[in-house]
Structure 1
Amino acid sequence: MHMRVAVLHHWFVTRGGGERVAECLAALLPSADLFTLVSSPEGLPDSLRGRTLTNSFLQKVPGAIGNHRHFMPLYPEAARSLDLRGYDLVVSSDSGPVKAATLGPDAVHLCYCHSPMRYLYDGYESYRATMGSVTRGLFSVTAPRVRRSDIAAAQRVTKFLANSAYVAERIRSAYRREADVVHPPIDLHRARLNIPGEAYLAAGRLVSYKKTGLMIEACERLGRPLRIAGSGPEEARLRRMAGPNTTFLGALPTEALWDEYSRARALLFAADEDFGMVPLEAQSCGRPVIAYGIGGSLETVRGAGEEGDSDELPPTGLFFAEQTADSLAEAILRFESQEDRFYPEAAQAHAAEFATPIFLANMRREILGVMPQAEPWAASVDDAIRTVG
């Protein structure tokens, strides 16, 4: 029996956690063809170069690659233009739009969902509130149609996997579907230990929901040095509000970023994330995390004073309760008052629970669970690790 296998990913435009997941899925399924809405050379992981990759019609629309999020009204049609009829097994890495690809009636579709699209569901009103009047009007008209298409596509998925328990609940709310949890992979081979400095670190895209501004405000108020690794549309505004204690590093090469992790006093993390790999990357370098206590952070950080804080399971960070500079500043002072409770070895051991080999083993089991006959087309975990590094 010959089996046709496909890996489907929402887009390959920048390299982040979603692209790492897609890379790992492709490594587990080395004969799979790849499909996506849009792609750019810099967004394609090195191990996927040379693989058969099919883009949707959006690839040829001027401006769609760099501004793909602005083409939300075309997502349903773009996804359906990806013709996967004839494929027996489809494994998708999806943040919402691409699950609507055209599959044959007998295809098995395992969907690893990073999150239902927030701007269509629980974040709909807050996203609308940030838009200008014209954009808001267009969004209000087109979003319900895209939402209906997304919900309909979700009903055709054979099985959902979520990257966190937080996202599993959001899948249940948005799609009325259950999802098992498989945490995404962390690149522990990049981890290193260094003597930490005095500066706190914020890392990630400079976009509004990351709440970098409140981290700047808290550190400036306390007179604590803050180093910011990343770039994005919020950068100009953040630079205007920053004081002498804040240093902007820009978008760093990978090795330089991991050096920043290892030398930070602690990582500050103020976003309401579905999962969030940055806190685990910092912990893999032995550094504690001061995080907003909601969402994925509750699954990636073992908080001081929280359940599980014992001699056997020492904390790897602590949480602040409100997404405000006041709450974060209080948490920083609380951290400094008990800093000797946070051991690099404990943080590294906790991060190791999310290592890439664990993800690969879990996903291989899930793939063969929905389609046992795919065994001959599935790489071993060891072979997949050699592919992705």
Structure 2
Amino acid sequence: MKIAIVHDDLVRKGGAEQVALSFHNAFPNAPIYTLAYDANSTYPEFKDCNIKVSWFGQFIKSEKNMKRLFFPLGVLAMQRLDLREYDVVLQSTTHCAKYVQTADDALVITYCHNPFRLVWDTDSYDKVKQANRLKRTLYGKVISILKKIDTDAAKRTDWFITNAQEVVHRIKQAYNPLNEITVINPPVRCSNFYVSNSVSDYYLIVSRFESYKKVDLVIEAFNKMPDKKLVIVGKGSREKEIKENAGNNITFLTGLDAADLARLYANCKAFIFPQLEDYGITPLEANASGRPVIAYGKGGVLDTMIPFTDDSSKATAVFFNEQTVQALQDAVNLFEQLEFDPAFLRAHAQYFDESQFVLKIRSYVQSRYLSERKVVPLILNTDSSYNNLA
């Protein structure tokens, strides 16, 4: 079995990139094909991988320029990536990984984090939603072209995997796949985090500064609770605006290494997760650090968190049911009356550990390959030689 991994782009740190790294750990001999790669902006572990970058990525490395030139240059570049020599193509994608060329008889497995948001959920982009009439017309034409490209490319997928039940119906609506969709929850690397013997006095957010992430909602809430400290780790398109609106009880940090981030997780009072997310790994990172979560109770957290009802020692999170300042404040105030069990939180996170994810992905790919090729099954091998299964 000759296998290749494809990921949209490697120019940031996020949950999708962690999945791509876990694919590499499952199949360490497989090359990783991608639109663009910036070693300094994504996880350092990718430096040890065999990265195959499109011609576009030879010139464009920053996330900003990649997004600016994605249509049409990025699309054309991914369509030129030729993977027809591979028996199995394992894709990690929200948009362009599925645009690559594959052999007609190749087994194509797509781990779809979400259907291409610009195409299938256009109004979630402020730039489009707030555009004037002329720009919206132009955006409409571009999006119409992208939708056809995206739909046609998705037809090459034999089997879809996704990260949470929240996304299953979106994939069905967008791509109408012939086969069942399997949910394999993304991994958290528990070994990167630890439980501290002491807890500090701050709440924590780790997030990009984009509208749907709702960091501005948390800032507004904490501006009205000046006695409570908030630490925010991240950056993004709304960074300037968000920082300008923050009170003196709010601290911003960026450029942290893994040890610094682990320390922040381990010592926070609680992690705040205000957005509607398809999945969301950061709440599990908080649990792996023995810390509870205050989360908007919709979306991916329904797959990963155990909400408090009557016993906080057997819960991992406090949910709030409306994305409003008052609802968040009420959740914070409720949290401060409860006592969570760090050992229970850590044990819960370990159910989602990367080691489990790697085993599930290996097993899934092998079973589909053997089934498609009608090969007599071999004993599952969990070391790197699995990648060379014939």
Normalised by the length of structure 2, the TM-score is 0.89
Q: Which residue does the alignment assign to 2:181? A: 179
Q: Residue 96 of structure 1 aligns with which residue?
A: 95
| Structure 1 stretches lacking a partner, 5+ long | 385-389
Superimposed CA distance per residue, residues 269-291 of structure 1 (whole angstroms, 9 cap, x where no aligned partner): 11111111111101111111011
Q: Which amino acid in the other structure matches residue 27 of structure 1?
A: N
- The residue type equivalent to 1:12 in the other structure is L
CA 1:375/1:166 → structure 2, altered by over 3 Å: closer, same or farther? Answer: farther
- In the alignment, does 2:324 pair up with 1:324? yes
Conserved 8 A contact 1:15-1:42 = no
CA deviation map 1:332-388 (0-9, x unaligned): 112223x12x2112211211110011000100111101112799999944659xxxx
1:153 aligns with 2:157: no
Q: CA deviation at 1:16?
A: 2.2
Report the equivalent of 2:293: 289
Structure 2 residue aligned with 1:387: none
Matched, 1:270 2:274: yes
SS at match of 2:284: helix
C-alpha distance 361-38 of structure 1, shift in aligned 2 (>3 A): same
Give secondary structure in 1 for the equivalent of 2:269: coil
Q: CA deviation at 1:29?
A: 2.0
Q: Measure, in 2, the Cα distance between the counterparts of 1:381 and 1:193.
A: 29
Q: Give the secondary-structure state (helix, strand or coil) at the position aligned to 2:40.
A: helix
Answer whether contact 2:321 2:327 (CA < 8 A) is retained: yes
CA offset digits 1:247-305 (Å, max 9, x no partner): 11223221111111111111111111111111110111111101111111221221112
1:17 counterpart residue number? 15
Q: How many residues end up aligned between the 2 structures?
A: 376
Structure 1's 133 and 156: CA in aligned 2 closer, same or farther, altered over 3 A?
same
Contact 2:38 2:61 in 1 (8 A): no
CA RMSD, 1 decimal? 2.6
Which residue does 1:55 correspond to in 2? 53
- Tell me, yes or no, if the aligned pair for 2:124 and 2:212 is still in contact at 8 Å: no
Contact 2:27–2:384 (CA<8 Å) still a contact in 1?
A: no
2:188 partner letter: I
SS at match of 2:32: strand
Within the alignment, does 1:214 sit opposite 2:224 as a pair? no
Letter in 2 for 1:93: S
Q: Relative to 1, partners in 2 of residues 1:378 and 1:265: Cα closer, same or farther, differing over 3 Å?
A: farther
Which residue does the alignment assign to 2:388? none
Is 2:247 the counterpart of 1:246? no
Partners of 2:163 and 2:249 lie apart in 1 by 35
Measure how far apart 1:174 and its partner are: 1.4
Q: CA deviation at 1:126?
A: 5.1
Which stretch shows the higher mean deviation, 45-54 or 319-328? 45-54
Answer yes or no: is the 8 Å Cα contact 2:11–2:61 preserved in 1: no
Does 2:129 match 1:129?
yes
| Residue 74 (structure 2) pairs with residue 86 (structure 1) | no
CA distance in 1, matches of 2:136, 2:321: 31
Show the 5 A alignment for 1:296-307. Answer: 296-305=300-309
Q: Give the secondary structure class of the aligned counterpart of 2:69.
A: helix
1:186–1:280 Cα contact (<8 Å) kept: yes
Does the residue aligned with 1:59 lie in a helix, a strand or coil?
A: helix
The whole-number CA distance in structure 2 between the counterparts of 1:46 and 1:126 is: 30
Q: What are structure 2's unaligned runs of at least 5 residues?
A: 386-390
Q: SS at 1:222's partner residue? A: coil
**Larger displacement relative to structure 2 (219-228 or 373-382):** 373-382
Secondary structure of 2:173's counterpart equals helix
Q: Which deviations, in whole Å up to 9, do the C-alpha atoms of 1:1-46 show, x marking residues without a partner?
A: xx43211111111232222211221222233222111111225654
Deviation at 1:147, TM superposition (A): 1.1
Does the 8 Å contact 2:307/2:316 carry over to 1? yes
Cα distance in 2, alignment partners of residues 80 and 124 from structure 1:
26
Moved more, 319-328 or 277-286: 319-328
1:109 aligns to what?
108
Give the whole-Å Cα distance in 2 for the aligned partners of 1:375 and 1:52.
Answer: 30
Partner of 1:29: 27
Q: 2:38–2:62: 8 Å Cα contact kept in structure 1?
A: no
| Alpha-carbon distance in 1 for matches of 2:42, 2:354 | 18
Identity in percent: 31
**Counterpart for residue 206 of structure 2:** 203
Distance 2:295 2:368 in 1: 36
Separation in structure 2 between the aligned mates of residue 166 and residue 29 of structure 1, nearest angstrom: 27
Which residue identity does 1:199 align to in structure 2? Y
Could you tell me how far apart the structure 1 residues matched to 2:333 and 2:301 are? 20
Deviation at 1:72, TM superposition (A): 3.9
